[in-house]
Structure 1
Amino acid sequence: MDAFDGAKGAIFIGGRLLVLLRDAKPWISAPNLWDLPGGGREGAETPKQTLARELREELGLTLDGARRLFAERHGGAFWFFVLALPEGAERRVRLGDEGQGWALVTPGVYFAMRHVPRQAARLQAWLAAGGIHQIPA
């Protein structure tokens, strides 16, 4: 596997997007903004393993039953995934030790929230390219 820094994922559950409110700590990047789950690579993880670990650590979820809708390397350093989890997966969400909270919102609501711009831009590009038709209702 080529070197990369991390992975982020737009996780859809029943047509809504799972988002995480980043901590308000001033020393972290993009504090107090809504973000997609994911983060930095550890050891020799693959991109999917990185996202799976981060999703488990941040929100207590696994990728069991996930359907991959999209995966692409961005800027050489990060992977961006779009995944659909089965309806009801939100009942298993348990906020980890990173983040202030989570929400399940439509993409339009997410774009109106105070969010991390680079992740939103990746999601908007995927939706504009026809990805919106792949999101399960």
Structure 2
Amino acid sequence: MRDVRDLGANSGDMTEANLHHGAKVALFLGNRLACILRDDLPHIHYPNLWDLPGGAREGAETTFQTVARELHEELGLILSPDHLLWESAFSSLTAPDKWNAFFVAQMPAVSVNDIVFGDEGQRWALYDMDAFIALPNRVPSYGGRLAKWVAETGGLP
């Protein structure tokens, strides 16, 4: 799978010289999305909203390294490149001059048994994609990002 930085002109200035700000993953365990309710702290972005695993880049990580590390920190799951279904790049909502990678991945439903919730967020849950998109208290950009994935790929295999 291509690194998001290789998307070229379709993604503006999303090149290796302009490293990604962070990465998120819409991770399906079977056919349900793994989601995290963000902490309810006034100093963080999107407090008390349902979020997808991921976060900020550390050092010179690739987009995949960022999302794999964050997923492991937040839910204790090990992401393999074989789990990836799609990736794209989007402008960062919290740092508009930067960009974020957005992945869609799928692991077997039994992977839910391997979840070890980390120390960020209030709790985790599994949602059907349509139910997640309909949540009034989710990070707003994910509806459009998931719709783009479905439009380009047809959705889950």
TM-score by length of 1: 0.90
1:86 Cα deviation (Å)?
1.8
CA distance in 1, matches of 2:82, 2:36: 18
Structure 1 pair 10–129 and aligned structure 2 pair: CA distance change class (3 A): same
Q: State how far apart, in whole Å, the 2-side matches of 1:20 and 1:66 are.
A: 23
TM-score of the superposed pair, with normalisation by structure 2: 0.79
For the residues of structure 2 that align with 1:87 and 1:35, how far apart are their CA atoms? 19
1:1-137 correspondence runs (5 A): 2=16, 3-64=19-80, 66-75=82-91, 77-113=99-135, 114-132=137-155, 135-136=156-157
Alignment correspondent of 2:95: none
The residue type paired with residue 90 of structure 1 is V
Letter in 2 for 1:20: I
Higher-RCO chain (CA-CA 8 Å, sequence separation at least 6): 1
CA distance in 1, matches of 2:32, 2:65: 23
- The whole-number CA distance in structure 1 between the counterparts of 2:113 and 2:54 is 19
What letter matches 1:73 in structure 2?
A: A
2: CA distance between counterparts of 1:71 and 1:115?
20
Q: d(CA) in 2 for partners of 1:47 and 1:65?
A: 11
**Cα gap change, 1:38 to 1:101, in 2 (>3 Å):** same
Q: Secondary structure at the match of 1:129?
A: helix
Letter in 1 for 2:84: R
Cα deviation for residue 105 of structure 1 reads: 1.0
8 Å CA contact 1:66–1:86 kept in 2: the answer is no
Coordinate RMSD, CA, aligned:
1.6
Instruction: Please tell me whether the aligned partners of residues 65 and 86 of structure 1 are also in contact (alpha carbons under 8 angstroms).
Output: no
Gaps of 5+ in 1: none
Query: Take 1:100 and 1:65, find their aligned partners in 2: how far apart are those partners?
Result: 28
The runs of 5 or more residues in structure 2 that have no matched partner are: 6-15, 92-97
Q: Deviations over 1:48-68 (max 9, x none)?
A: 000001001111111148521
Q: Percent identity?
A: 46
Classify the secondary structure of the residue corresponding to 1:83.
strand
- Check the 8 A contact 1:61/1:94 in 2, yes or no: yes
CA gap 1:84/1:66 in 2 versus in 1, 3 angstroms: farther
Work out whether residues 133 and 142 of structure 2, in 8 Å CA contact, stay in contact via their aligned partners in 1: no
